[in-house]
Structure 1
Amino acid sequence: MTRLLLLWALCCAPLVSPGSPAARPRISFLLDSSDRGLVHFSQRDVHNTTTLLLSDDGSTLYVGARNAILSLNVSDPGFITLKDKRDWSPSQTDIDSCKNKQKNAQVDCPNFIHVLQPLNSSHLYACGSYAYSPHDALLDTRTFTLTSVSTAKGRCPFNPFERNTAITVDGELFTGTTRDFKGTQPFISRHFSRDGGQAARLETSNDLLNEPTFISSSFDKKEGKLYFFFTEVLKEFRYIKEHKGARLAQVCKDDIGGQRTLQKKWTSFAKSLLLCQSQQQPFAILQDMFTLQPPEGDSSKETLFYGVFTSQWSQGSGPSAVCQFKMEKIRDVFSGPYKTFDPSKQQLSPAVTQRTAQGKCGLWNASDVVLEGVKKSFLSHNSVQAAGGGPLLVSTGPNGVGYSRLVVVTTQAANQREYTVLLLLTDKGFLHKVLLLDGGPHIIEEVQVFKEPQLVKSLLVSSSKGVVYVGWSGGVTVVPLAHCSSYPSCGQCVLAQDPFCSWDPAGQACTKSHTLEAAQDVETGNVMKVCPPLSSTPDPVELQTALNEVLILPCARPSDLATLSWTLAGLPLDQKHFLQRPDGGLSFVVVADTLGNYTCTSQEAGYHEVQAVFAVTPHSSSTVRARTSLGWTRLRAFGPATDPPPVEGDPAQDPTEAPTEDPAQEPAQDPAQDNHDEVQPSQEGGAARPTANCRIQDRSGEDVRGGHWQKSYHTELVVVSLLLALCASVVLLGLVHRWSQRVLPVSPKVLARPGDGTESQGSQGNPENDCILKQEHLAPEVKVMV
């Protein structure tokens, strides 16, 4: 395959420099984005609204749909409403006949409108597939009624999904389509000839067309020629099986055929190869072609053609290329020389003939010898090369974005220069707005038009209204060419490099109206050169939060080409404690060291702009408080309600500090229970014995909860040691006394307060589960019986 590609490139054209790869869009607007609102028209019973025609005054959009023709009011670019609708469905008999031809009644047998063209000041010409039996009609725009309905083979295709092209010039219809049920007989023809003239069509004895897919057509008024753009199998390169290429064919508008040879057939037919290739690969499959007419008063040779091409060997939605072709170059190629068709071998020979009559108009009275030569020499020897030697841009990216349709507009920027903008529809449902610059293409933005891939779709641009109409199966969507209010500052307005938008310093807004003081730099987007320095930053947003909680600070990226950075009190952040999210937000845990003022700054093309400022402060109840009485230290706990309490003895935790609940959130206590929980001194003057759920007071008299505090055991250890020594002394004294009296000894007994239900609990329980007692009640009551 590599050798074949190389051979093809050497035969057709020298290698050219690669096209500029299309950078990613600067801004992306999704379908439900409020920043780039779209106007959409749809109805439940209206489908396949893909054939579009705008009235001369731009107030009415005619739409060819499935089984219907619509008239939409688009006089206001911000609204689109239905004015009228004309149903045009096949009869049940036609549908049954379509089903008998092994076609699906719901998919293949409706009437899909393929052609909708102005015929005169009061009528439109319409042609539809009509249940695999093409029909055409005239539509009266005043009454919106259909007349002169009849069969129309050769004017639009049988297959509802087959591409075709049609154009009307001075009341005559020129079409490029197939004229048979199977779609194997391609046809370029003229209909409705003036003054009773005969319709003209192609000679079929030679291989003038080889499995073409018609794409577009255009009219050269100065030369009186029509151009047809299509893709077909290239028979001149027989060593490459089924190699396809893009073609351009021409016929003369007033060609009526020869007197004997080529009667009622084109005598002016000629075709050439369109070359759009980069150093990496050729782009041979033509997807769409747009004709950009020069301004009034300019020469017609300044007409430009912009085409979208894909590679024959790319898998799936591979890369696409956009190439530009000049009318002047096309005219030169069709002026000769031409290759010769050998009837005996049914192929083009390498022999080259200089132009005698090929491609000329007005051969109706030419001799049979001249016309026989025209029949054999219809393919130009030279190819039409893309302007600049290669593509204007090549789509790239990991998702394999491919372009399928395009329209082109020109506009005058604030510097009075004309700029060209491409509107490209991707196979993913996005409309790319691409500015062509000397340094390469710049994708200003992408706007999502639909979500699901569409088999059939179309674009129509209205420069006067500043909108693009997108026709697809789900309806008609209106996309403004510019939405300048999306740029909130002078910097963002200039960075967009949108020739439709400039910054108005008086109104402090980005607008479509270019004033003398307007700030704009389409070529480089140099903000520092045209915008005044920023004198203010956004007001800080106050955020009160709890400690130990995870906080996310949002920051919207102004464009997909901008990078965001965060600072705390003007200093860079420690990456170990802060996480910058993919959406630009900042995530961190709120502690004492992460409180303060945060600033989010965007950077693009050397320009910095503050996007957001936050002041993070703790709640008033989150203040750190410390108590040293009896070794107590208290901290506010900020974990979730389900977090387990700290485990005592955890080596990772400070034994002198423990979190406790907010006193304001403590549940109300039953008074009776409170009284029961209080530590009571012994009625006998002995030590107090706390209950299991007792309330303890420190020296300050403030109630505290043992489960939420940690204490120092130094004092308790000293007291317990003294008690143990005293008990041991008493026991020893008693044993000595019993031995001396020779009587049975009596063991010491610790008397508890009668009736409190806590006998011997203090001496047998777990010390860590006991409540902490007041220091003045720590001495036990001991009696020794002799």
Structure 2
Amino acid sequence: MKRPPVVLFYFLLIMNRGLAANNKPRRTVSFPDMNLKQFKESGFGGLSSLMIRHDIGQLVVGARGKVLTLALDDITKKTSEAKWTVSSADKVLCQMKGKDTQECDNFIRTLHTTEDGKMLVCGTNAFSPACDYMTFTNGKASLDGKKQMGRGKVPFDPYQRFASLMDGNTLYSAVSSNFLGTELVFQRHGLNPLKAEMKRSWFNEPSITAMSLVEASRNSEDGEDDNIFLFFTENAVEECHDNIQVSRIARVCKSDLGGKRTLQRKWTSFLKARLDCPLGDAASPSLIQDVFLLRDQNRRSIFYATFTTHLDSSDACSQSAVCAYQLSDISKVFSGRFLTERDTRSWETYTGEEPFPHPGSCINDELRAKGVMTSLDFSDKNLLFVKNHPLMEGVVTPMTGKPLLVCTGTRFSKIVVDQVTSLDGRSHQVMLIGTDSGWLQKAVMFDGEDGRIIEELQLFQAPQPVSFLQLASKTGQLYSGTNNVVVQVNVRDCSRYTSCDDCLLARDPYCGWDKIRGQCSSVAGAFLESMIQSLTDGDIRMCPISKLKEKPAIIHLTIRIAQFLPCSPETNLPISWRLWDSILLPGPQHIILSQGLIIRPSYSDSGLYTCETVETVKTKVYRKTVVQYLVQVQDANTAARNLTVAVITLAAFVGLLICSLVITHLKAKYKK
């Protein structure tokens, strides 16, 4: 068996951060202007896990050889530290097996809360995975010191991707379970342990990216069991060429107990299907990177997932996207027809008779009424079919039929989604997307429109991948991290919108204009009578009339000598220029750049030049003045004469000043 491909993070060093022109962020905020808090101390590195504990007000951070706790309201305050280092003997043994010194440490990669408030902590432990429990006493974290085997719960390799999930006290994991990292095992630990079948049709050189839990019974009318969903990429067994990677979604039932004879201690409900996010061309399949599950107030479960095309992060043509999927659509695919493998190793739709019940079914009221109470009651015929037919014919497609958001030249990594209530009581989803170059995209999508990026925020001073994203939606605090730093950002910070027009045109669900205080503020907890917001169409007619505070700058230009007139708006919106009331078109005498205007004037080019941003919201065009120049053009001779007169005048002034100083000095000397 070949080694599974390892999904690595890459640096993205593109000057314009590689965003497509049709989805450029409205505003870009670089690191020096970011109002964020960061935790970074000497010796801190190897950040491997991150978890919010609302109940104790702590951010728990797993790193190399230690677990830290930071205050949720201010992560610059470290509240405790529990060390878990590797013994010298284990480190030497690890190095003898061909690993370097840094790899042969204990990277804390799993943090999960159990029902009693303790935490399950697992680390790579010098390529010998181990777990322990951690308790909190008076706000201080300490390990119990009762080390247990962690194989199958956390990878051997500190840099290999995996997935794990704690449901109550039951741990689910999808991780390579051997030293070489070549055997992926999707399993459940605890009282009723189960594993996936080691067959090529179940997993074919997979790369695990994310796993999410869905409590489907809350929406089910037939009492169906809850599900566990696993998202991953693998080489497609159904394709003619065996090296085509595709995205997958797999499902198992939580109450699965395995089979009585067939599939003993194995999943009897494991089914998988292709996950589609139409992006780029067919030769560049979209590969899933991360998944976030959002349940709205109606208990409707929606998965938001990030995808990329090319694995080469240096490819300026690579694309990234966000797609959303409804649980109901996923369930339909898993209730559909199967693919089957022929003797020729080709795959086609299974047309034979299917055993009852539908293979891979979760237990529901109908089955219970017929005496099928658990998976142990399934027939061998049914389980044998599941064992040999895990792949569904249907494809899980996005709920909108297309991506919510597409960007070119950048690589999306992590995603969290916040559900925000606007002033009119409507719910809006704000997508917070990390990139491999250390930026955070804040994006929204309104009905009938494509997704748009409101802001692009630089989280780290140096380009580094966003490895973690955790959101405390009640407070609006976002926690992120990379190898050696943890940052905290207030996603409700509206202070960067400096005018009412800017505040409303941004159409940021977090923000509204406070008419009393005269500033853009968060709508969360605000006195609603004083706030205005226009998310549907950005109607700035609600704003008080504002006037341009600064007078035009007077600029003297010489005929046929080029001059640059700068224009640097606070936003990334396109700009246009007007000469008096006429739109200025590009030409030999006027070169329009993104940051200003190069003018090579003639006599007719004198006049009032206005640089303004142009923003279109639902066919309405809004223009906002950035800067104005009153240009006066003169010929070279006039300019030379004016310069000569200025020089003579200056010389005369200097001469008079010197004479005055000399006379003053002589008078003072005469008096003495």
Match of 2:96 in 1: 100
Structure-1 separation of matches of 2:498 and 2:313: 41
Q: Check whether the contact 1:339–1:349 (CA below 8 A) recurs between aligned residues.
A: yes
Whether 1:203 and 2:197 are equivalent positions in the alignment is yes
Secondary structure, counterpart of 2:25 in structure 1: coil
Give the root-mean-square deviation of aligned CA atoms.
Answer: 3.7
Structure-1 separation of matches of 2:549 and 2:394: 62
Match of 1:46 in 2: 44
Match of 1:289 in 2: 291
From 131, 140, 143, the equivalent of 1:136 is 131
Answer with 1 or 2: which has the greater Rg: 1
Match of 2:654 in 1: 665
Q: Check whether the contact 2:435–2:465 (CA below 8 A) recurs between aligned residues.
A: no
Structure-2 separation of matches of 1:393 and 1:569: 37
Structure-2 separation of matches of 1:547 and 1:312: 51
Structure-1 separation of matches of 2:159 and 2:583: 62
Secondary structure, counterpart of 1:138 in structure 2: strand
Partner letter of residue 527 of structure 1?
I
Structure-1 separation of matches of 2:570 and 2:346: 59
Cα deviations by residue, 1:190-226 (Å, 9 ceiling, x for unpaired): 1123xxxx32112225641111111111222223211
Cα deviations by residue, 1:241-262 (Å, 9 ceiling, x for unpaired): 3111111111222222222222
Structure-2 separation of matches of 1:99 and 1:496: 54
Structure-1 separation of matches of 2:38 and 2:486: 6
Structure-2 separation of matches of 1:547 and 1:273: 66
Alignment of structure 1 residues 586-597 onto 2, 5 Å: none
Whether 1:359 and 2:357 are equivalent positions in the alignment is no
Whether 1:115 and 2:126 are equivalent positions in the alignment is no
Structure-1 separation of matches of 2:596 and 2:87: 59
Match of 1:191 in 2: 189
Shift of 1:451: 5.1
Structure-2 separation of matches of 1:634 and 1:444: 49
Alignment of structure 1 residues 335-734 onto 2, 5 Å: 335-340=335-340, 350-352=349-351, 354=354, 356-357=356-357, 358-361=359-362, 362-396=374-408, 400-437=409-446, 438-450=448-460, 452-454=462-464, 457-513=467-523, 515-516=528-529, 518-528=531-541, 530-534=542-546, 536-540=547-551, 555-563=567-575, 565=577, 582-584=594-596, 601-605=612-616, 606-612=621-627, 635-637=644-646, 661-666=650-655
Shift of 1:635: 4.2
Match of 1:310 in 2: 308
From 148, 151, 154, the equivalent of 2:149 is 151
From 86, 89, 111, the equivalent of 2:85 is 89
Q: Check whether the contact 2:128–2:156 (CA below 8 A) recurs between aligned residues.
A: yes
Structure-1 separation of matches of 2:387 and 2:176: 21
Cα deviations by residue, 1:693-729 (Å, 9 ceiling, x for unpaired): xxxxxxxxxxxxxxxxxxxxxxxxxxxxxxxxxxxxx
Number of residue-to-residue matches in the alignment:
598
Shift of 1:138: 0.9
Secondary structure, counterpart of 1:48 in structure 2: coil
Unaligned runs of 5+ in 2: 1-19, 218-224, 363-373, 633-638, 661-672
Secondary structure, counterpart of 1:328 in structure 2: helix
Shift of 1:453: 4.5
Shift of 1:315: 7.2
Structure-2 separation of matches of 1:423 and 1:430: 10
Partner letter of residue 379 of structure 2?
S
Shift of 1:58: 7.4
Structure-2 separation of matches of 1:261 and 1:625: 99
Call closer, same or farther: CA 1:570–1:48 in 2, change over 3 Å.
Answer: same
Secondary structure, counterpart of 1:273 in structure 2: strand
Structure-2 separation of matches of 1:178 and 1:521: 50
Q: Check whether the contact 1:337–1:355 (CA below 8 A) recurs between aligned residues.
A: no
Structure-2 separation of matches of 1:504 and 1:465: 20
Match of 1:170 in 2: 168
Unaligned runs of 5+ in 1: 1-19, 618-623, 627-632, 639-658, 672-786
Shift of 1:116: 0.9
Shift of 1:63: 1.0
Partner letter of residue 213 of structure 2?
F
Q: Check whether the contact 2:249–2:274 (CA below 8 A) recurs between aligned residues.
A: yes
Structure-2 separation of matches of 1:233 and 1:571: 55
Shift of 1:84: 1.0
Shift of 1:372: 2.0
Secondary structure, counterpart of 1:665 in structure 2: helix
Shift of 1:73: 0.2
Partner letter of residue 416 of structure 2?
V
> Structure 2 length normalisation: TM-score?
0.80
**Identical amino acids, percent of aligned pairs:** 28
Cα deviations by residue, 1:397-435 (Å, 9 ceiling, x for unpaired): xxx122122111121122222111211122222111111
Shift of 1:177: 0.7
Secondary structure, counterpart of 1:329 in structure 2: helix
Match of 2:61 in 1: 63
Alignment of structure 1 residues 239-258 onto 2, 5 Å: 239-258=240-259
Q: Check whether the contact 1:67–1:111 (CA below 8 A) recurs between aligned residues.
A: yes
Call closer, same or farther: CA 1:212–1:455 in 2, change over 3 Å.
Answer: farther
Match of 2:370 in 1: none
Task: Work out which structure has the larger RCO, using CA pairs closer than 8 Å and 6 or more positions apart in sequence.
Answer: 2
Cα deviations by residue, 1:283-307 (Å, 9 ceiling, x for unpaired): 3311111111222xx24xx211111
Shift of 1:62: 0.7
Structure-2 separation of matches of 1:457 and 1:278: 23
Call closer, same or farther: CA 1:561–1:543 in 2, change over 3 Å.
Answer: closer
Call closer, same or farther: CA 1:21–1:303 in 2, change over 3 Å.
Answer: farther
Q: Check whether the contact 1:567–1:573 (CA below 8 A) recurs between aligned residues.
A: no
Structure-2 separation of matches of 1:241 and 1:247: 15
Cα deviations by residue, 1:45-86 (Å, 9 ceiling, x for unpaired): 11132411111337211111122111010135xx54211111
Cα deviations by residue, 1:84-138 (Å, 9 ceiling, x for unpaired): 11122211111111111111112x2122222111122321111121211111111
Shift of 1:480: 2.0
